Structure 1
Amino acid sequence: MVDKVSLSPDKFINPHRSFLGLGNYDVNVIMAALQSKGLSCVWFDKRRDVNFLDLSNIKGFIINNQYSLGLGFVKLPVKRNHWFGIREINGVYYNLDSKFSTPSKIGNKSEFINFLQEQLKGGDRELLLIVNPSVEQESRWWKEH
Structure 2
Amino acid sequence: RSLDHLVVPRVLGFLLNVPSRVSLGALALPLRRPHWLCVRPFGAAFYNLDSKLATPTRIGAEPQLREFLRSALAPAPSELLLVVTRDVEEAGSWLRAE
Instruction: Report if the CA contact (8 A) 2:37-2:49 is conserved.
Output: yes
The 5 Å alignment of 1:121-132 reads 121-132=74-85
Q: Which residue of 1 aligns with 2:50?
A: 97
Q: Structure 1 residue 134: deviation in Å?
A: 1.3
Q: Deviations over 1:66-108 (max 9, x none)?
A: 1121234533244321111101111101000111121101111
Identity, in percent, stands at 35
| SS of alignment partner, residue 115 of structure 1 | helix
Counterpart residue number, 1:52: 5
Query: What TM-score do you get using the length of structure 2 for normalisation?
Result: 0.89
Give 5+ residue unaligned stretches, structure 1: 1-47
Does the residue aligned with 1:88 lie in a helix, a strand or coil? strand
Please give the secondary structure, in 1, of the residue aligned with 2:66. Answer: helix
1:1-145 to 2 correspondence within 5 Å? 48-144=1-97
Q: Per chain length, whose mean CA-contact separation is higher, i.e. which structure has more relative contact order (CA < 8 Å, sep 6+)?
A: 2
CA distance in 1, matches of 2:4, 2:42: 19
Using the size of structure 1 for normalisation, the TM-score is 0.62
Higher strand share: 2
In structure 2, the gaps of 5 or more residues are: none
Alignment size in residue pairs: 98
Runs of 4+ in 1 over 6 A off after TM superposition: none
